Amino acid sequence: NGDVAESGAGKFGGEVVGKTTKTDSEIDYWCQRWVEINPDYNFIKDNCQKCAYEFMIWLTDNNYKCDHRVDAGNIDTENREFWAVDGFAAAKDGNAIATFGLGQGHASVGPANIKAKVGQFSAQAVAGPGFGAFADATVVEAGISAGNVAGIHVGLNANTGAGVRNGNVEAHLLGFGGKIGADGIEINTPIGGVNACSVM
């Protein structure tokens, strides 16, 4: 129990991915059902990231912010509508964030993961663990990744901010910049970027 795993995950701060109204009993039932439906572990398909991603989708009623590459080949997005105006505001343990979006989607085939988003905006202030201030503004983006090995995305953004958040050290100015940490190494421009070597 605690904020940091024995592996060191969470050392540079966790993240707020959304809000929930689910009760403890509902969460316990979901976890039991997930294990029943996915009884056998598979390194590239039915793995811990599949469980975590599907749990996040269910827990937040499909209203979430998660920009990490995912190493799972058959994530069930529970028929999330791509065009869904949503957003949330939350603050916990020194991490405050407000988001708004017009649409986002995710699909996976084998080790390949495809993500797309339109009109995604957020403001975030982090004051420990981690630190910094960030304003993310994405007009449109489409990306594809090969598990947690490498990925590429194209689109239009003006992301700006600097600090340590979500396990990464990062700095961006009007879309130019990069980050290094739990998500590996990423280099970005206002029209796209590349990333590799995630340890998520």
Span 44-79, pLDDT tens digits: 777 888 888 889 888 988 888 888 777 666 676 655
CA separation for the pair 81, 103 (Å, rounded): 8
Nearest of 71, 69, 87 to residue 166 by alpha carbon: 69
CA separation for the pair 124, 152 (Å, rounded): 24
Q: Three-class SS of residue 40?
A: coil
Nearest of 57, 59, 53 to residue 80 by alpha carbon: 57
Which segments within the chain are labelled E, that is strand? 83-92, 95-109, 112-126, 131-146, 150-157, 160-165, 168-173, 176-181, 184-189, 192-196
> Which amino acid appears at position 171 of this protein?
A
Residues in the chain with pLDDT values less than 70: 1-14, 71-74, 76-83, 110, 198-200
Backbone angles phi, psi at 10, to 5 degrees: 90, -5
Nearest of 100, 107, 103 to residue 53 by alpha carbon: 107
Backbone angles phi, psi at 198, to 5 degrees: -70, 150
Nearest of 108, 69, 102 to residue 86 by alpha carbon: 102
pLDDT at residue 46, as a whole number? 76
Measured between alpha carbons, how far apart are the two ends of the chain, in Å? 19
pLDDT at residue 64, as a whole number? 85
Q: Would the pTM of this model clear 0.85, i.e. be above it? A: no
Q: Three-class SS of residue 71?
A: coil
